[in-house]
Amino acid sequence: MDRALIGSKGGPMQAGTFVEQALKILDADELFSLYCRSMNSYGINRIIYSALRNASGYETQTPGISHCYPSDWISHYAANNLAESDPVRATGLLTRHAFSWNDMIAKKTLSREQLLVMEQGREAGLKDGVGMAFHGPMGETFGVGLASSDGNPDIHNFLTNIEVLSTHFHITFSALYEREKPEPAKLTPRELEVLKWAAAGKSNWAIGEILSISEHGVDFHMRNILRKLDADTRVTAVVKALHNGILTL
């Protein structure tokens, strides 16, 4: 994992620094402000964090929880129920990693209505965007929509960094609303070793070579780690481990 995840006027901020700052924040608006400053360093100045789908029995909260999107676009989106034809929302519900809007348009066959949503968003100042969704155990799904009012065609080069930061933001934001903080998961020494090397960006094969175990063995430990941390991806597992003090960078 790249430790120099985000930049600032004083230079790139380390991942550990972001984690440290985020964990000290007890206010949702302040946390969102920190996340916005992080994204600003990538030329992203239009940010929304919203519920895409809630757990069964709850109405979906749209269009947003926290955002700095153009107010006219938010009103237009809600008034015309564009969530039904929004391809970014639809793609987020089906994927677990950050994706660029431009790649989505190029790789998917979008309907006329979906293309119209994207064109109207661009005209509203939402250009060269990135989407990412966070899937919960009860079917609830939250997501972020990130874009630039000036355009940022190289944003796809930073998808991994954006994914790490966004995942940590979501986990920390969610924790602010938990009534009882769950007990931290207990990882075995071997699982902790595997997770540390995964956090360093090593593949299962490379981890196996480092720890002198088979790639199958690494995969076995990684599946146990994901289960114990209730994580759906390696990135989420690393961020949750950092958040709960199980792992340090």
Q: Residue 16: CB partners within 8 Å, gap ≥ 6? A: 3, 248, 249
CATH number for 189-243 (one of 1.10.287.610, 1.10.3720.10, 3.40.50.300, 1.10.10.10): it is 1.10.10.10
**Spatial distance between the Cα atoms of 26 and 22, rounded to a whole number of angstroms:** 9
CB 38 within 8 A of CB 165: yes
Segment 36-60, tens digit of pLDDT: 988 888 889 999 998 887 655 555 4
Q: Flag whether pLDDT at 247 surpasses 90.
A: no
Q: Flag whether pLDDT at 143 surpasses 60.
A: yes
pTM for the predicted model, two decimal places: 0.73
What is the average pLDDT value for the chain, to the nearest integer? 83
| Strands 13-14 vs 99-100: parallel, antiparallel or unpaired | unpaired
HSE, side-chain direction, 13 A CA sphere, residue 118 = 22
- Report the pLDDT averaged over residues 110-126: 95
Residue 98 confidence (pLDDT) = 94
**Spatial distance between the Cα atoms of 102 and 89, rounded to a whole number of angstroms:** 14
User: What is the CATH number that goes with domain 4-175?
Assistant: 3.30.450.80
Residue 123 confidence (pLDDT) = 95
Q: Which residue has the tokens 């431009």?
A: 102
**Strand segments (E) across 108-227:** 127-135, 141-148
Residue 5 confidence (pLDDT) = 36
Nearest one of 64, 58, 120 to 89, comparing CA atoms: 64
CATH 1.10.10.10 intervals, the chain: 189-243
94-98, 122-126, 235-239, range with the lowest pLDDT: 235-239
| DSSP H/E element including 180 | none
Q: Flag whether pLDDT at 63 surpasses 70.
A: no
| DSSP H/E element including 245 | none
Confidence of residue 245 (pLDDT cuts 50, 70, 90): confident
Residue 197 CB coordination number (10 Å) = 18
Residue 60 confidence (pLDDT) = 47
**Spatial distance between the Cα atoms of 27 and 173, rounded to a whole number of angstroms:** 9
More confident residue, 149 or 249: 149
CATH 3.30.450.80 intervals, the chain: 4-175
CB 87 within 8 A of CB 170: no
Q: Which residue has the tokens 């940590």?
A: 168
Q: Flag whether pLDDT at 163 surpasses 50.
A: yes
According to the 3-state scheme, what is the secondary structure of 84-147? HHCHHHHHHCCCCCCEEHHHHHHHCCCCHHHHHHHHHHHHCCCEEEEEEEEECCCCCEEEEEEE
Q: Residue 110: CB partners within 8 Å, gap ≥ 6? A: 87, 118
Dmax of the chain from CA atoms? 58
Burial 7-18 (b: 16+ CB within 10 A, else e): eeeeeebebeeb
Q: Flag whether pLDDT at 86 surpasses 50.
A: yes
CB 215 within 8 A of CB 204: yes
More confident residue, 248 or 95: 95
